[in-house]
Each structure stands twice: as structure tokens, then as C-alpha cells.
Amino acid sequence: MNYKDKYNEWLTSEIINEETKNELREIKDEKEIEDRFYKGLDFGTGGLRGIIGAGTNRMNIYTVSKATQGFADYLNQNFDKPSVAIGYDSRNKSDEFALASALTLAANGVKVYLFEGLRPTPMVSFATRELDCKGGIVITASHNPKQYNGYKVYDEFGGQVTDDKAGKVISCVNDVTDFGAIKTISEEEAKEKGLLVYIGEDIDFKYIEKVKGLTINDSLVKDKAKDLKIIYTPIHGSGNMPVRRVLKELGYENVSVVKEQEEPNGEFPTAPYPNPEDPRVFSLALEMAKKDGADVIFGTDPDCDRIGVVVKDSDSEFKVLTGNQTGLLLTDYILSAAKENGKLPKNGVVIKTIVTTEGAREIANHYGVEIMDVLTGFKYIGEKIHEFKNSGDKTYLFGFEESYGYLAGDFVRDKDAVIASMLIAEMTLYYKNKGLSLAEGLNALYEKFGFFKEDLVSLELKGKEGQEKIAKCIDSLRNATIKEIDGIKVKTKLDYKLSKEENMLDKTVSEIKLPKSNVLKFILENGSSFVVRPSGTEPKMKVYLAIKGDSIEGAKKDLAKFKENVMKLVESMLN
């Protein structure tokens, strides 16, 4: 069935409501119709992510319910009397999609614990484990633009489903080929049957207490927290309540919130791209800081699993830290404090993704701690935490990814900006007590461990043609013989799709023992590297660049030159 047949099927279906049909009738652009119907919205290893709207390739009540019916089938096939925790953020239709998911699960005999209002994604991970559920669902598009929403699936251990389980869930979702096969009941019936229970303050309290329990330097926080000046923005998302509550209960009295960004709003009127990786989301916070001063500024994305940090540099100018820079600071702070307190375990592990700064390796090595690489996606860090708990042979200490996601503790199995905000506040306080800003602390780490510098280029390629271009470009890079970049020899080529690591100099090949993924990484003789992969959440191809320089300024210049040469190569493969 081609896209036009699917379009017409929706227009004539008795199941599709008139509001949806009218939306489709108003589309005059044939390319728009094609994009909405040329495929189904892919249920990937993390769930769904797409633009809100009518069509098979869009986030709507029908595609969400189809995914939920498949998830319900998976649960009933694998567990006896399964239950699921469901949460949602501030995005448009998040509450609607969450309730629809709950009612489909209930109609399939799956008990649902639904948060009574918006909550951060990590709280759903926590609730899934705390309530002994066999799965979890979060309705969120994380940091995507306002047009998007998404649907993330958790397993019984509170982590996003990874490859094996995801494959089984995807198979069940794909087996739902007819919207007429999707079950649902009314909210009243679900509650009467005890299949729908609303989660209230009890879980909030337990989660907040667990977060506060991760405080590293209790005496410092108790004595000095009131002296730290913080500006916080939830960027119209779900972090406002839990972040402020944790900080307040720990004694951080001087916390100012960006009023214009305080209230949840799926239109994100002050931040069209509500991503703490984008410095523009901090413009209002910076205006406040210039008037009233601040020791640190931080902001969390709509579902409060990512956090961005703004600090004063040596010239008293505010600068936005990269995700890698914040990760380096937290890694060193956590490991150094554990060592000072005699609590650094011999089997401790720090986990990062393959596109995250190698500076973390230098820090971990310094403290005698193992560092482990996993594929891009925090679900793989969550998976390792579960493995460590099961085997007992390693102790998880900290994990992070360059895209502003961090996690300490093991009661959550996904990145957590509530935990990170508390640790960043404490870390800022620690440096302030030494007479240093976070920026100065970062410079000290560079002097000690090396001047690591990274960058990310996201190439947006929309629609069917864009996806085809991305796939063709990566295949071209895979098949090309790339011997050098600007005179520097390529030493290692890692192909994660083929599970092959090739030494380009001596022609030896070894196996990559990670799940298969369409990712390529090239490492040069001087240690520079670049990674190319398709985005799993947006119509983009991502190019990650990394170098190690001999000074801060030298690293900036080296990275700029490296970036120029790599992008020439990548763009030649796109044409």
C-alpha cells in the first residue's frame, strides 16, 4: 500500500475521528501527505519520537495506542499480572497520550500507576522499580522542538528497554496491523476495576529523600548552602517542583527561578528549541544574573533528564559549559570526594558513551577507577547498572553522556537532572569555598589532565529523501578508504554496525563487543577522532569531533581546523 492509499484509508476509516480527518483534508502539499504516510512512525529501541499530527508517521492518539497495544501484548506474554508506571511532561498532548496509553493497558488487564500530574522522566524510572512494575512509559520528546512528542518504554528494572527486549516489544507492536484491534476502556471503568491507580505524593517523597541521600559533603552543604546564589530555569518543563524542593530542603535558600520560564507550557514561548545544549535558552537567566549576580545558572529540559550549566569565567563573563565539561567536573568531584573520604571502592566504574570526552578516561585513571564505554544512549548505562547489581563484581559510581545527561546513584536507571542539579549546586559550593568558580575549577582540570575539546555538528535532512541521504552518506564513509585527515594518518576505524575495529596501519581487525549500531568512529594518530551516526530522535545526521590540544587556545584552533576538514569529507559523501 503506497502513501496515498494509506492517506485515503484514514479518510474513510470509521475508527479515525472527524477532527483528524479534517486535519488531513486541509493538507494541500503532496510532499506533506507523503511524509505523513510513506511509513509508520518507527517504534525503535527506545520507543516513538515524532512530530505531533495526523498520519502513520506522526505522534497521535492512534499511533500511541497502537504502540501501547503492542506493549500490552508483550507484557502479557512475558509476565503474570503485569503492572506499568506511566508519567508525562509538559509537552502538547502529553497528558492525553498518557491517559490513552493507560486505558489501553487497562483494557488488556494490565494494572496502571499513572502520575496525577507532570513529572520528570527519572521519577518514572524510580516509580517503575519502587512499585515493582514490569514496565514503564514516559510521554515526552525530551529536548526536541515543540512540534514533537514521544513515547519511551522502560523494562522491569527501570531502564529503557535495550536491544533484546526492545526487539520483542517491537515485534509485538508490528503485529498490531489494524487500529480496530486496539483495546480501550473508559477511565471510570478502569478505576472501578482497580486497573488504574493515580500516583500521588508518596512516591514524590520517597524519590526526593533518595536524591538528598546522594549529598557528598553533608557538613559543607549544611553550613554553607545558604550562601550559594543559584538561578534556575525549568524551561517550561517538569523540573520546577522537584529541583526546587530538593534544593530548598537541603538549605539552598538563595535560589531564583526565571519567572518567564517557570510555568509548564508545551508551546515553549521563550525557547522554541527547549534544549539546555542551546545557549539561547539561558538568555533570560543571563539577564537576571547581570542584574543580581549568581554563582551558577542551570536549566533543565522539558522532561528534566538533561541539564545545562552556565558559569562565570576568569573575566567575570558568563559562559555555557558543554555537556562534556560538566561531566568532567562531576567525574572529578565525585571521585576525589570518595577518595578523600576513604569510600572509593576498588571495583568502582565510571561509564560514558563512545562519543563522550576522553578526558573522563584520564580522570578515572588518575583515581584508579575503571572507565567503560557504551553505545550512545543512556539506556546502555542503565543496563550496565543492572548488570553490576546482579553480579556484584563492579560498583557503579557515575555515568554521563556528552548530550547533557548525568546520573549518580542506582535507584534511577536513566539520566536524572534532579540529581545532577543537586550535585552541581554542591560542587559549585565546594569550589566557592576554595575561592574558585566552576570555570576556574574546569581550567584546573585541563591543566592537570589535558586540554580536551569537543564539538558536535547536526545536519538536518528532513523527509524520506533526507533519511535516504543519511543512510547513503554513512554507507559511503563505511566503504571509503580514508587514510588521513589533513596529513594526519587515520589509525583506527570502528564500525559498530559490523562490530569491527580495524587498525588501518597494521591491517589487523578485532571484534567490537557492543550491540550493533549504525555508527562509525575514526581515530587519528594524534588522538583526534570523529564519529558519524544518524540521530535516533530527529531527522539529523550527527558528527562528533574531539581533539586534545596543548593549551586551551591551542585546542580551540586545532578543533576548528579539524572540524573544517572532517566536514568537507562528510559533505562530499552527502552530494
Phi/psi at 322 (nearest 5 deg)?
Answer: -75, 165
Q: Does residue 61 form part of some domain?
A: yes
CB environment 107-126: b (16+ within 10 A), e (fewer): bbebbbbbbeebbbbbbbbb
Is there a single domain that holds both residue 216 and residue 114? no
Q: Does residue 546 form part of some domain?
A: yes
Q: Does residue 269 form part of some domain?
A: yes
Q: What CATH number does the domain containing 278 carry?
A: 3.40.120.10
How many helices and strands (H and E) does the chain possess?
Answer: 19, 23
Q: Does residue 315 form part of some domain?
A: yes
Q: Does residue 529 form part of some domain?
A: yes
Is there a single domain that holds both residue 438 and residue 542? no
Instruction: Show which of 421, 449, 477 is a domain's final residue.
Output: 449
Question: How do residues 414-435 score in pLDDT, each as one tens digit?
Answer: 999 999 999 999 999 999 999 9
From CA 553, how far away is CA 274, in angstroms rounded?
Answer: 30
Is there a single domain that holds both residue 402 and residue 436? yes
Percent of the chain surpassing pLDDT 90: 91
Give the lowest-confidence range in 139-148, 187-196, 251-260.
139-148
Is there a single domain that holds both residue 142 and residue 174? yes
Is there a single domain that holds both residue 368 and residue 230? yes
Percent of the chain surpassing pLDDT 70: 99
Is there a single domain that holds both residue 522 and residue 382? no
Q: What CATH number does the domain containing 500 carry?
A: 3.30.310.50
Is there a single domain that holds both residue 243 and residue 276? yes
Question: Residue 279 carries which side chain, given as an amino acid letter?
Answer: P
Instruction: Show which of 410, 429, 449 is a domain's final residue.
Output: 449
Phi/psi at 323 (nearest 5 deg)?
Answer: -60, -35
From CA 248, how far away is CA 126, in angstroms rounded?
Answer: 21
Q: Catalogue the active-site residues.
A: 142
Q: How far is CA 345 from CA 218, 328, 368, 445, 530, in A?
A: 20, 20, 10, 22, 33
Is there a single domain that holds both residue 152 and residue 287? no
From CA 60, how far away is CA 37, in angstroms rounded?
Answer: 13
Is there a single domain that holds both residue 463 and residue 443? no
Q: Does residue 12 form part of some domain?
A: no
From CA 128, how far away is CA 151, in angstroms rounded?
Answer: 15
From CA 84, how far away is CA 75, in angstroms rounded?
Answer: 9
Is there a single domain that holds both residue 321 and residue 174? no
- Its domain, for residue 532, covers 451-574
Question: How do residues 261-309 score in pLDDT, each as one tens digit?
Answer: 999 999 999 998 999 999 999 999 999 999 999 999 999 999 999 999 9
Is there a single domain that holds both residue 212 and residue 315? yes
**pLDDT for 139 beyond 70:** yes
Phi/psi at 264 (nearest 5 deg)?
Answer: -60, 135
Q: Which burial class, exposed, middle or buried, applies to 513 when counting CB atoms under 10 A from its CB (0-12, 13-18, 19+)? A: exposed
Around Cβ 29, how many Cβ atoms within 10 Å? Answer: 8
Q: Does residue 303 form part of some domain?
A: yes
Q: How far is CA 168 from CA 15, 163, 176, 304, 453, in A?
A: 27, 9, 13, 28, 40
Question: How do residues 48-98 score in pLDDT, each as one tens digit?
Answer: 999 999 999 999 999 999 999 999 999 999 999 999 999 999 999 999 999
Q: Is 120 left (phi over 0), alpha (psi -120 to 50) or beta?
A: beta
Is there a single domain that holds both residue 480 and residue 395? no
Q: Does residue 340 form part of some domain?
A: yes
> What is the per-residue DSSP string for 265-303?
-TT-TT-SS--TTSGGGGHHHHHHHHHH--SEEEEE-TT
Question: How do residues 300-331 score in pLDDT, each as one tens digit?
Answer: 999 999 999 999 887 778 999 999 999 999 99
Q: How far is CA 456 from CA 96, 328, 333, 459, in A?
A: 34, 17, 25, 10
48's enclosing H/E stretch is strand 47-51
Beta strands in 384-528 (DSSP E): 395-401, 405-407, 451-460, 484-485, 488-495, 500-503, 509-511, 520-524
Phi/psi at 127 (nearest 5 deg)?
Answer: -65, -35
**pTM score of the predicted model:** 0.94
| Contact status, residue 395 vs residue 194, Cβ threshold 8 Å | no
Q: Quote the number of domains for the chain.
A: 3
Average pLDDT on 169-194 reads 95
Instruction: Show which of 410, 434, 449 is a domain's final residue.
Output: 449
